[in-house]
Amino acid sequence: MDSIKKELEQINISSLRLRQNVMPIIKRFGYASHQMDSLNSVISEFDSLALNKVENIISTYGWLGKSEIGETANSTLFIVIQHAEDNRVREKFYPLLEASVNKGESNRSDLAAMQDRILVNNGHNQLYGTQSKNDGKLFPVEDPKRLNKRRKQVGLKKIKANLD
């Protein structure tokens, strides 16, 4: 498991390094710039390769929990699947993440974020306010008055949401 843990931790580091360039490029050149298109292509290629590795790991070992591979590597399983372009990938792995959360082996906040992304991509309101548009505004939220109560239940911080 140590080699899998290290591989997942390296995927996490590489993903963060790539994504830390997004905001500086948007601020300097704009979201619809050639530079942003180029970065998005690199990120998309990276995400595709990472997803292939994660799918192979999960098909071989199942959803590995924190006690098996540590917090960072476990969260990387979620992050890679969350970044998949196809919502069916999230729908496929959601039950495995849910089972891991129910055993205390994965973060409830990761499950909430995946659930929100699935809902938003299927045209529904999100529950936990984890998904925002390019302009920073949240996608529509179900029962906004109870948003922070739901967020607290899954370990997410309170937000003052712009729910327009």
Residues 117-145: pLDDT tens digits? 999 999 999 999 999 998 889 999 999 99
Q: Is the pLDDT of residue 85 over 90?
A: yes
* pLDDT score of 163: 56
- 30-65 confidence digits (pLDDT tens): 989 999 999 999 999 999 999 999 999 999 999 999
Q: 85, 72, 75, 89: which is closest to 46 by C-alpha?
A: 85
pLDDT attached to residue 108: 98
Whole-number pLDDT of residue 135: 81
Q: With a cut of 70, say whether residue 164 has pLDDT above it.
A: no
**Which pLDDT value is given to residue 114?**
99
In this prediction, residue 27 carries a pLDDT of: 94
Task: Give residue 136's pLDDT.
Answer: 82
Is the pLDDT higher at 115 or at 164?
115
pLDDT, averaged across the chain: 96
- The whole-angstrom separation of Cα 103 and Cα 98 is 9
In the numeric block, which tokens belong to residue 92? 């496929």
State which amino acid sits at residue 17.
R
- Calpha distance 11→147 (Å, rounded): 32
Domain ranges of the chain: 1-85, 107-164
